[in-house]
Copies of this chain bind each other. A is one copy, B any other.
């Protein structure tokens, strides 16, 4: 509604607003929120610092707008893929499809909103690590619904696993996903060049396969939480 459908669409350079958003997204995702100044963003976007204030009022407002931009499309895409996945007959295949529906939109690195999840997902990872307040609120509001939908779907295809276990394992999935986007070069380093951590397609396959297996693991019996501590003995 800020827009205006009739005619007046100005801006000297072709949408400076978008350029600022893109620059901020990139810088926040790689350096964190506090390490990046409004002046840094403006410079990266080829804009004037005052322009940022004009379009987004505050630095928090800029972050907020980035979230607003991405949350909708990304959750929509996830919903579509989830709906398709739920139609898969074979239970094993269905589980894999569900996990894939969760992972793919977060990992795909197209530049537009619908597909361009990688940068935004990395941004969310960094904001979560920094304990950013603005991000925390939006995340809980926007993503918990989606998370619940996925957890429910997974639970349906694994009825014998307690919901609690599924929550934990999907939590691990998100952590692995985040970390893969934050530090991809670590994979290349540890595999001595045999794997490319930045190869999104391969990362997705690895993550999906590992996660499906973790979901299929036997349930933890909650009754005796501190049962077996096999063998491992400390010397001290």
Residues of A within 8 A of B (CB): 30-35, 77, 80-81, 84-85, 87-88, 93, 96-97, 100-101, 104, 114, 125-126, 128-131, 140, 144, 147-148, 151, 163-165, 167-180, 182-183, 186-187, 189-191, 194-195, 197, 201-203, 205-207, 209-214, 216-218, 220, 225-226, 230-236
Q: Please name all residues of chain B whose beta carbon is closer than 8 Å to the beta carbon of A202 when the two chains form the complex.
A: 225
B232 touches A101 (CB 8 A): yes
Residue of B nearest to A167 (CB): B191
A130 touches B35 (CB 8 A): yes
25 contacts between A and B (CB under 8 A): A31-B130, A31-B131, A34-B34, A80-B234, A85-B232, A87-B231, A97-B231, A126-B129, A126-B130, A129-B130, A164-B191, A164-B194, A167-B190, A167-B195, A168-B195, A168-B206, A172-B207, A175-B179, A175-B180, A202-B225, A209-B217, A212-B217, A213-B213, A213-B216, A214-B214
A131 touches B179 (CB 8 A): no
Q: Please name all residues of chain B whose beta carbon is closer than 8 Å to the beta carbon of A170 when the two chains form the complex.
A: 190
Partner of A190 from the list B148, B175, B197, B213 (CB cut-off 8 Å) is B148
Q: Please name all residues of chain B whose beta carbon is closer than 8 Å to the beta carbon of A131 when the two chains form the complex.
A: 30-32
| Min CB–CB distance A72 → chain B (angstroms) | 14
Complex CA gap A72/B218 in Å reads: 35
Partner of A171 from the list B31, B84, B173, B179 (CB cut-off 8 Å) is B179
Give the number of times this chain occurs in the complex, counting copies: 2
Interface class of chain A by DSSP:
helix
3 pairs of A and B residues whose beta carbons are closest in the complex = A175-B179, A213-B217, A129-B129
Known: A84-B233, A97-B230, A172-B180. 18 other contacts (CB 8 A): A32-B32, A32-B129, A32-B131, A100-B232, A125-B129, A126-B129, A128-B179, A129-B178, A129-B182, A163-B194, A169-B206, A171-B179, A171-B180, A172-B179, A172-B211, A201-B226, A206-B220, A209-B217
